[in-house]
Amino acid sequence: MSIAPPRFGIVGWKNTGKTTMTAKLTRELVRRGYRVATVKRAHGAFDIDRPGTDSNTHRQAGAHEVAIVSSARWALIHENRADEPEPPLDAMIARLSPCDIVLVEGFKGAPHPKIELRADREQKRPALADTDPAIVAIASDDRPEDAAPGGPPVFRRDEIEAIATLIEQVCGLGGLSEQRSAS
């Protein structure tokens, strides 16, 4: 039985920069020597293969799952039946190859530690950290003066190295990148 890797979430309201932040944190953690996997929550139907491709032809023909395999990468496309619920996050993470950490974009209600992204233009929306104790930090366009005393630390969204260090600490990864570079 393998041990599930730690996970850290990137959450926020629509158009707050979650994908950009996830990509920047992925690059920084990879630079530090970690094997990073990501899971992104999508809303509604989405497609990863284009019409006219062989995999799309297989899927459109009714294949329940389609695997695309090459020497460079592979992908598995699973079609949910109409009565099949969205798989839980734990089930998706269990399908991932071994890694050091999973960055999870979205899944606001999941209990893993998260950073909330806030866009100053979105101040009309409620702060997620007000009701979610799993939010351990906030990233904003600039440091808001309204950071609650004793509340989660607040970063500017461009402080990627500092946020990555926080992720290492929260997820118990401290020293892994140093251990790898020493060996």
The answer to whether 152 and 117 are in contact (CB under 8 A) is no
Q: Is residue 67 part of a domain?
A: no
Mean pLDDT score across all residues of the chain: 86
Output the pLDDT for position 161: 97
The answer to whether 135 and 116 are in contact (CB under 8 A) is yes
How many domains does the structure of the chain reveal? 1
Output the pLDDT for position 147: 62
The pair of structure tokens assigned to 30 is: 């990879």
Q: Is residue 73 part of a domain?
A: no
Output the pLDDT for position 151: 81
Sign of CA dihedral 168, 173, 177, 178: positive
SS (H, E, C) 21-45: HHHHHHHHHHHCCCCEEEEECCCCC
Residues of the chain with pLDDT under 70: 1-2, 44-47, 120-123, 142-148, 175-183
Query: Cα–Cα distance between 183 and 170 in angstroms, integer?
Result: 24
Output the pLDDT for position 47: 67
Output the pLDDT for position 169: 96
Q: Is residue 16 part of a domain?
A: yes
> What CATH number has the domain bearing residue 91?
3.40.50.300
> Tens of pLDDT along 44-80?
666 677 788 888 888 888 888 888 888 898 888 888 8
DSSP letter, residue 111: -
Start-to-end Cα distance in the chain:
26
Output the pLDDT for position 69: 87
Residues of the chain with pLDDT > 70: what percent?
85
Q: Is residue 150 part of a domain?
A: yes
The domain of 91 spans: 7-46+86-182
Q: Is residue 53 part of a domain?
A: no
